[in-house]
Amino acid sequence: MKPSPIFLIGFMGAGKTTLGRALEARLPGWRYIDLDDEVERHAGMSVAKIFSVHGEGTFRKMEREALDEAARNESPVIIGCGGGTPCFFDNMDFMNSTGVTVLLEARSSTLLRRLLEAQAQRPKLNGFSPAEVEKFISDSLSERAAWYSKAARRFPSDRLETPAEIEVSCRLFIRKFINPNE
């Protein structure tokens, strides 16, 4: 029997892509699907371009379609969701009824460091000072708390910096969520 999809949720910079790709490399037969990548593939343009040309509403509809499609994948899947994915439509209820939601939790200081390091790749943060990024994190986490709290499971994601930390985190994740009886 095919395992239920695992949905990685959490704030930007929590490590969903890093952990998802590392798990795919360690789990034969499993596939990692990044929802933003799927939306970009279907739209033929970047998420930033979709936002600027068509608006957030169009992006969120495309994201929901990608979520539905990813959850129906034939192989076992780990789906990396955007930070806002749980907050729109009935996405959180859909994910909880279709598979297992795992909230990746990183300290605010970890999120701040990661987002400042990758600020150029985060259009939402363009032009923000470090203090503004810190406030954005705090405000956004408060706004999203009601949705994030609906996650079935939680996983610490502060330790995804080095290959050794990623290896340890993958082993722990696999033991907790993929092979809990081993």
pLDDT tens digits, residue range 99-128? 999 999 999 999 999 999 998 888 788 889
Fold of 6-176: Rossmann fold (3.40.50)
Read off the pLDDT of each residue in 10-19 and give the average, rounded to a whole number: 96
Confidence band for 145, pLDDT divided at 50, 70 and 90: very high
Average pLDDT over residues 22-33: 97
> Is 104:71 a contact under the CB 8 Å cutoff?
no
> Cα(70)–Cα(26) distance, rounded to whole angstroms?
20
Is this structure's pTM higher than 0.85? yes
Distance set, CA 174 to CA 1, 167, 171 (Å): 18, 11, 5
**Mean pLDDT calculated for residue range 130-144:** 96
Q: Which pLDDT does position 152 carry in this prediction?
A: 97
Q: What is the mean pLDDT of residues 130-134?
A: 96
Residue 90 banded pLDDT, cuts 50, 70, 90: very high
Q: Are the C-beta atoms of 6 and 75 separated by less than 8 Å?
A: no
* 165 SS3 class: helix
pLDDT in tens, 62-75: 999 999 999 999 89
Are 168 and 159 spatial neighbours (Cβ–Cβ below 8 Å)?
yes
- The answer to which of 8-22, 44-58, 151-165 has the lowest mean pLDDT is 44-58
Q: What is the mean pLDDT of residues 88-106?
A: 97
The pLDDT of residue 174: 97
> Which pLDDT value is given to residue 96?
97
Alpha-carbon separation of residue 105 from 27, 54, 129 (angstroms): 22, 31, 23
Report domain extents, the chain: 6-176
